Chain A
């Protein structure tokens, strides 16, 4: 149980394009989803927290207009990297929890490479 699916697993695109990453909870309803960024050989950095039906809460230093988050249903959240540039290249990981006080379950991550 508690499976989180993230898609795509790997994406390569040209600078200036926008990239959408999907995060789905497959066997539970996720009231809260989290988006992380991980640089090589580093820990996870929380980017934002999203609740179904409301605006995402971004961590300090994360550009809201750059990283658009939508949590339209209890099983789906999306992260759109707008006008991506090489410095946006990273490993992006989502997680989901059924309730705010429950453990987070993680997707397998999306490796984004911007040329």
Chain B
């Protein structure tokens, strides 16, 4: 069964420093992986996805993620954190239902706190 793990409940980083939010996955077959961000009382905003191709995926707001097949990881990164990046981040893997629907399985979420 497909699953996603985000081992950190919270990540704290100083503004201007690089940030990493970790995600590992377990899938059968080739993984379709996603990162979403959620601000308070809002829905999820799509950041980036990995389907195939280059292992380093670039997304919105300066974020990128590195797909590592041997370590089954898809960590989210940003070279220089901003206070406005503080939010809840979700990693997700696509799972095809029996009806062919594109379901998303979400990790538990990681709260990123960027301090001035």
* Nearest Cβ on chain A to B89's Cβ, whole angstroms: 11
Q: Are B43 and A49 in contact (CB under 8 A)?
A: no
Q: Interface residues of A: mostly helix, strand, loop or mixed?
A: strand
CA distance A100 to B98 in the complex (A): 12
Question: Are B103 and A49 neighbours in the complex by a CB distance under 8 Å?
Answer: yes
Chain B positions 74-102 with a Cβ under 8 Å from a chain A Cβ: 90, 97, 99-102
Count class of interface residues, chain A: 20 to 34
- With contacts A44-B90, A49-B97, A111-B41 taken as known, whether A105 is within 8 angstroms of B102 at the C-beta atoms is no
How many A-B pairs have beta carbons closer than 8 Å: the answer is 59
Whether the pair B44, A103 counts as a contact (CB closer than 8 A) is no
A43 to B75, CA, bound (A): 18
Instruction: Report Cα–Cα, A97/B36, bound state, in Å.
Output: 15
A83 to B: closest C-beta gap in Å: 26
Interface code A76-115, partner B: CB below 8 Å = 1, 0 otherwise?
0000000000000001011101001111111111010000
A residues touching B (Cβ–Cβ < 8 Å)?
4, 6, 9, 32, 34, 42-44, 46, 49, 51, 57, 91, 93-95, 97, 100-109, 111
Task: Please give, as numbers and ranges, the residues of chain B lying within 8 Å of A107 by CB-CB distance.
Answer: 43
Shortest Cβ distance from residue B99 to the other chain A in the assembled complex, whole angstroms? 6
Contact B41 A109 (CB under 8 A): yes
CA distance A106 to B88 in the complex (A): 15
The residue on B at minimum CB distance from A32 is B101
- Chain A CB within 8 A of B26 CB: no
Tell me if B49 counts as interface (CB < 8 A to partner A).
Answer: yes
